[in-house]
Amino acid sequence: MTTTENPTHQSYSADDGSNADFDFRSYANDPDRITDFSRSNTEVNSLISVVEDNADAIFTWRYDKGERAKLDKLYEKAKTSQWNGQTDLDWSIDVDPYAVLSPSDPNEVAYFAENPRSPLHKLNEAEWAEVGVESMNWSLSQFMHGEQGALLCTAKIVETVPWIDAKYYAATQVVDEARHVEVFAQYLEQKLGGIKYPVNTHLESLLEDILEDSRWDMTYLGMQIMVEGLALAAFGFMHQTTEEPLLKKLLRYVMSDEARHVAFGVLSLQEVYQELSVAELRDRQEFAFEAALRMRDRFMRQEVWERMGVPVKDMVKFTLEMPEELKIFQKLLFSKIVPNCKKLGLLDAGDGWLRDRFTDIGVIEFENWVDTGEEYADFDVVAKDRELAEG
């Protein structure tokens, strides 16, 4: 590490303090690192998990609403874009768990099903159907756990950010996140046979690091930019692939909120990061890279393979070896993160360390995609639905 501000970061430095000889590409794609980190969750049956919050609660006695015009605009948009998970979604729709997703990419299926080296090579048709059902339950369970993480992190932003416009907006996001946890939990319980998977270790450790950090801008970076940015992309991918009407509408409504949440991070951190030193920015670059790896690694579904008796490390290794042309989903996960990091100046701060790292993991191609600070209004499905109803 180039700084000692946060001891939870991975240390990349050699003994001389440099990391010129560190092989980041091998580190990122090391099956041992990924699977060793994915220890079994020993608190599966525990209803409570305690994380230390080291932040100070900040009051501000300056109540000039609108001092930060873009945040004020976002706050006004949030107030008019609220929706109710009980009345705006049709919970009477019957759901067949085996038909929630549309068919997968046949080339990707063939990679796992037809290659003799694949841990899934000998699965029969019924077992492949179970992979789909288990993967859907796992995905929605992780979305739900992540939304609770966002609920806690956004409450922390209300507590710690010194600007009244940011406190106002963050309070609306707390309501959003509670609604998201509610609807994902309800969908899992009522339509997919219950919540079968605890929080993934990669996701849990990232949420803990975000909550334990005393710096309020790191809560923004970890949650609003990294976790929420990846979630927005993942929700979008699932929304495109599912034909199940209840899930499709649920995801579209959640995405409408998530776009505002990511924009909140972009608009806030732009101001903050203009004032940081090169060393401070480097610390945030390293945090962003490690967060990106944890978010990517959690989508390798280690818990699903363990439940189904598939060798986890072999499955991770085979997934990492997938040809680049088949890694569409893995790459699209970063389609919001990379342009937002560029907007914040993190890609090229200092010696461009984060640009090099995103190049190492093959996602730098998204740097010129539109950042969420510019596109959040396009996601506002609540406003569009109201326009249609009034028209």
Sequence spans of domains, the chain? 65-390
Three-state DSSP at 52 gives coil
Which H/E stretch holds residue 315? helix 312-320
pLDDT of residue 273: 96
| Other Cβ atoms closer than 10 A to 40 | 10
pLDDT of residue 376: 77
Q: Which of 331, 336, 321 is nearest to 363 (CA)?
A: 331
pLDDT of residue 4: 38
pTM here?
0.90
pLDDT of residue 89: 97
**CATH number 1.10.620.20 given to 65-390:** yes
Q: Which of 303, 248, 343 is nearest to 41 (CA)?
A: 303
pLDDT of residue 16: 45
Question: Any residues with CB less than 8 A from the CB of 346 and at least 6 apart, and which?
Answer: 273, 281, 284, 285, 288, 354
Distance CA(340)–CA(222), nearest Å, equals 12
| Other Cβ atoms closer than 10 A to 351 | 11
Distance CA(366)–CA(322), nearest Å, equals 20
- Kindly give the confidence (pLDDT) of every residue in the chain, 391 residues in length, as a single tens digit, with 9 standing for 90 and above: 233 355 455 656 544 445 667 888 888 888 888 887 655 555 555 677 888 888 999 999 999 999 999 999 999 999 999 999 999 999 999 999 988 876 677 888 899 999 999 999 989 989 999 999 999 999 999 999 999 999 999 999 999 999 999 999 999 999 999 999 999 999 999 999 999 999 999 999 999 999 999 999 999 999 999 999 999 999 999 999 899 999 999 999 999 999 999 999 999 999 999 999 999 999 999 999 999 999 999 889 999 999 999 999 999 999 999 998 888 888 888 999 999 999 999 999 999 999 999 999 999 999 999 887 767 777 887 777 766 766 6
Pure H helices in 192-222: 201-212, 216-219
